[in-house]
Structure 1
Amino acid sequence: KKYYSVTVGRRTGVLFPWYVKPLVEGVSGGLAVGFKTHDAAMHDYLSAKRKGLVRVVRNPGDDILFGPRSEAEM
């Protein structure tokens, strides 16, 4: 299985591949990196979060599709 660390997108966190494209597509600077293991993806995500690199980017109407912004960052 493959896991993704999404650090810039409509939602961020460690996610399965099928969730990633809509979260980063069309997002300026959208960033998702694939890993073979959940642990490796989590390590990448938490490292980016500690460095202040995790960013949620929203457009009008995104709350309807992706949930409230307050819940968008893992």
Structure 2
Amino acid sequence: MDLTEAKWRKSSRSSGNGGDCVEVAGNLPGVVAVRDSKAPGGPALIFARDEWRSFVAAVKVGEFDT
């Protein structure tokens, strides 16, 4: 998938010291892209919008807490 038009934003939960940074691009038609901000030229995960919404909702309710 061509991500040249992606508008990336850093997660508000990313640490401020340069590590553990995730960027999300939600401006792409029908999908959400996620990448590691330390490797912007590297691979990105692509999710359907409904999949991404479900994931974010599960994170918010603590479904993945250990």
- TM, length-normalised to structure 2: 0.31
Bigger radius of gyration:
2
Higher helix fraction (1 or 2):
1
- Greater relative contact order (Cα 8 A, min sep 6): structure 1 or 2? 1
